[in-house]
Amino acid sequence: MKKKIIILTLFFFSALLFGQKKNEASSDQCFICHESVGSTEADLYKKDIHFSKGISCADCHGGNSQTDDMDKAMSKAAGYKGVPKGNAITQSCIRCHANPAMMKKYGSKIPTNQYANLKNSVHGRLAINGSEMIVQCITCHNAHGIVAVDNPASPVYPTNIPATCGKCHSDPVFMRAYNPALPVDQVQKYRTSVHGIRNAKGDPKPAQCVSCHGSHDILSVKDPRARVYPTNIPSTCSHCHSNAEYMKQYKIPTDQFANYSKSVHGIALLQKHDISAPACNSCHGNHGATPPGIESISEVCGTCHALNAELFSSSPHKKAFDERKLPECTTCHSNHLIITATNKLLGVSQDAVCSKCHKPNDPSKGYMVAKEMKQMIDSLDSSEKNDSALVHEAEQKGMEVGDALFKLRDAHQARLESRTMVHSFNEAKFNETVNKGLKVTTEVKTEAEAAIHEYYFRRIGLGISVLIISFLALLLYLYIRRLERK
């Protein structure tokens, strides 16, 4: 009951306030006159949020709005400015929009830092004429007929943003003046993305330009503070994609970011700040963001992991995977949660990926081959480890093992190559690589053992000299005895 009264009272007062303002506006002589001559500006201004708040034409254009004498109203003496040009446009907006007290007076809750952000953004740089910012408020928000952002009629309403940004960013001639290397196909690509298709259907929730790039505070991709700087991309995407509530209606998982952060790629990018490591957009695309299709996965991963992709494509698995509609790399390596591949993936044990398809009663050779490959790579692994221990033992004993250490690099290389060679799923090719490594480890083992043997051999030299010294000592003893017996 109480609530109702409060609401009613509020309603009453606001109606009162509104009516009063309307009166004020209708006494705006500029507007009355310009409307009567059928000016488009005046027509548009009728729908403007500023009009409804009682802001007069003179508040931006200067002059005296109280008189209907044109000469007086638009005289310099009355402060008439005419149509503001360049930065003067933005200056007239920020008289209120950068002034919290003023905004409060009009009962607005919108932020007042837009100008500060704009000034520091890429759009705040000087335009080619050298006298104004590239972008003024009206470039995106229009001049007359400005409506609230959440009004679908606004040029900055989510579904209108791609077109608004595209006004400049899809114009090659315009963009060449500022950033000739920057592509101009973003909107075109965007329309092919999942985001863009939904956006075109009128859904305001999917990401559009400002969701990722920011609005007033847009920074260059190369700026580490930018939301689209490689290391910031995962958190930018996760802003929506990890929000289960927000994503509910789209029925897709929301654990990608959590998984990615734990993956080898996520660790490289987010913890080691290796910006060559892939972020979300490296696989999904950015403006054209879409999950890669099953057939294209190996091509996508192959942009970096080329050798593996190439080997896979010419392997017997290619056909088998295609027939069963299995996604290529991710079937074994997972997608967002790609952890460092270890030898454990290979083989026929419980946690090995081969055993997911290849069973002991497999009609093809798969099971046997997986088992053998695993044995081969394990033996290379352990002989490399043994060698390394032997060489370091010899080194600690002060033996010269530079050659063996140098050769050990080849074993390391053969091990890494054989891990790549697994993707050929060809036993002969794989064995060739592993055997190359095993040959090296045998050589290193021989050398290291020889060095350790040499270390113990030193004792023979010691034996000889101890013998000589003891012999001399004995003679000396006899000599002293003889001397003293005299």
Contacts with another protein, residue ranges (CB under 8 A):
268, 274, 276-277, 304-308, 310, 395-402, 405-406, 409-410, 412-413, 416-417, 420, 458-459, 462, 464-466, 468-473, 475-480, 482-485
Q: How far is the CB of 450 from another protein (least distance, A)?
A: 14
Task: Name which of 142 and 330 has its Cβ closer to another protein.
Answer: 330
Task: Name which of 100 and 398 has its Cβ closer to another protein.
Answer: 398
| Sole residue written with tokens 């890429």 | 122
Rounded Cα distance between 253 and 272, Å, is: 27
Task: Name which of 21 and 305 has its Cβ closer to another protein.
Answer: 305
Query: Which one, of 126, 119, 228, lies nearest residue 177 by Cα?
Result: 126
Angle ∠(217,218,219) on CA atoms, nearest 5? 110
Q: How far is the CB of 469 from another protein (least distance, A)?
A: 5
Task: Name which of 122 and 399 has its Cβ closer to another protein.
Answer: 399
Q: How far is the CB of 408 from another protein (least distance, A)?
A: 10
Q: How far is the CB of 239 from another protein (least distance, A)?
A: 27
Task: Name which of 16 and 472 has its Cβ closer to another protein.
Answer: 472
Q: Which phi and psi angles does 233 have, rounded to 5°?
A: -60, -50
Task: Name which of 143 and 277 has its Cβ closer to another protein.
Answer: 277
- 273 DSSP 8-state letter: -
| Sole residue written with tokens 């932020």 | 111
Q: How far is the CB of 470 from another protein (least distance, A)?
A: 6
Query: Which one, of 192, 170, 272, 182, lies nearest residue 228 by Cα?
Result: 182
Q: Is the separation of the CB atoms in 79 and 62 below 8 Å?
A: yes
| Sole residue written with tokens 């080849």 | 410
Task: Name which of 79 and 224 has its Cβ closer to another protein.
Answer: 224
**285: helix, coil or strand?**
coil
Q: Which phi and psi angles does 25 have, rounded to 5°?
A: -65, -40
Q: How far is the CB of 149 from another protein (least distance, A)?
A: 42
Q: How far is the CB of 474 from another protein (least distance, A)?
A: 8
The DSSP element (H or E) to which 32 belongs, if any, is helix 29-36
Q: How far is the CB of 224 from another protein (least distance, A)?
A: 17
CB count within 10 Å of CB 309 equals 19
Task: Name which of 210 and 438 has its Cβ closer to another protein.
Answer: 438
Q: 433: which 2 tokens?
A: 């690589």
Query: Which one, of 376, 379, 387, 378, lies nearest residue 410 by Cα?
Result: 387
Side-chain half-sphere exposure of 271, counting CA atoms within 13 A:
9
Alpha helices in 324-401 (DSSP H): 328-333, 366-396
